[in-house]
Amino acid sequence: MIKNILLGLTVALSVVSLPINAADSRPAQATLNTCDDFTNVSLRKLRTTDTLNLCEFKNKPLLIVNTASNCGFTEQFKALETVYQQYKQQGLMVIGFPSNDFFQEEDNEQATAKVCFINYGVTFPMLATSAVRGSDVNPIFKHLNAQTSSPNWNFYKYLVSADRQTITRFNSKVAPDSPQLITAIEHSLTIN
């Protein structure tokens, strides 16, 4: 009996000690990764059933890229990874969106994952293959396209400010490590 009472008190105390968000009385951890902008969407990660809600990167600039495994620009994965490694501690998040909109993506996610993770050593988040233009466009690119324009080819880069108010579009020919893009990234990291 005393053992049950102690167990009940322990459970009660652990519930009481959770930090509460005053706005909605849910534990603070539950609301930590929420946001009220276009990034409040959960998308499946490449070759997994796990999802990623882009609100996880709230208050961080994003470099969003539509990728393809069999494109003349696929080598840009190397520079994207270099840029990610160079600026991730300062807050930059690179996110890859494989797409077959230009008919240059692998037929299955296992092959796409091999290109990204094994061939190019990508460590930044890669999401499941999806459309980046057209009627079945994914929700992130739907917003990006409405604010700028849809990508005309693979490896278009969209630099989104930490406050989500500014989106700068770079075409495929602008390398991830080009002075033009690096200057924009460094500028986005200084604005909060």
Positions marked active-site? 71
Q: How would you classify the pairing of strands 93-98 and 62-67? A: parallel
